Amino acid sequence: MADHDLFDLSGRTALITGSSQGIGYALAAGLAGAGTTLVLNGRNESKLADAASRLAETGATIHQLAFDVTDHAAARAAVDGFEASVGAIDICVNNAGMQHRAPLEDFPADAFEHLLRTNVSSVFNVGQAVARHMIGRGAGKIINIASVQTALARPGIAPYTATKGAVANLTKGMATDWARHGLQCNAIAPGYFDTPLNAALVADPEFSGWLEKRTPAGRWGNVEELVGACIFLSSRASSFVNGHTLYVDGGITASL
């Protein structure tokens, strides 16, 4: 096998949750560039259709699967329906997530529960739904999107930090249960990236100045810089990588 073939994803189909914008959209575009057929997911059908249209202009083959990742029954029905009517999902990228900022002593209980459902339950719901089919085929790639907050914390986001720590440990659990069935389950932990989720921070000169000094690379990340990690973890090149969290953070977790 030629070295470049290790990263060839031609003929593979990837489901990317939360792929209407931001990191999910960038990963979808990157996977399409590597030859993958895309299954885009989101709750807002209009935004999903717009994302699909833009990606189709690049020549990508697109399917749309609108469902709420926090709803276990809906996730299973959507995945089962796609597998039955269209075909196998070879790669699953659990990207859907949210943020809520507030001092921990004043953090609303309903916001905490919403974070848990969106950032953790969704990974379980969709991961389990696709794994049931992957196990039968003896192969599959599950990539969960963690965060630099998997390892670090900042004031005002303690519950978010808790959810992303849970994502990394759920990834380890998936690998422990499913590696023997031929699945590779790993996570990507982005550092600070210029995304809609971080728009307020990007626009804050004080925060951006702090981040540039705190990050060895000296800047915000660009979402396209996550694509290589996703292609690696989706491809044959990572056939013996399991339960790993890959930090893509400009060195912020390596430096005080």
The rounded distance, in Å, linking the Cα atoms of 137 and 135 is 5
Q: Which candidate, 166, 13, 150, 182, places its Cα nearest to that of 92?
A: 13
Quote the tokens at residue 238: 């990572």
In the chain, where does DSSP find H-type helix? 22-33, 45-56, 72-85, 109-116, 122-137, 158-178, 199-202, 205-214, 227-234
Choose, from 25, 160, 192, 247, the residue flagged as catalytic: 160
Q: Which candidate, 129, 123, 26, places its Cα nearest to that of 70?
A: 123
C-beta of residue 192 within 8 angstroms of C-beta of residue 215: yes
The rounded distance, in Å, linking the Cα atoms of 143 and 187 is 5
Q: Which candidate, 171, 175, 121, 167, places its Cα nearest to that of 147?
A: 167
Residue type, 243: G
Residue type, 191: G
The rounded distance, in Å, linking the Cα atoms of 87 and 148 is 34
247 is catalytic: no
C-beta of residue 163 within 8 angstroms of C-beta of residue 111: no
Question: Residues with catalytic annotation?
Answer: 160
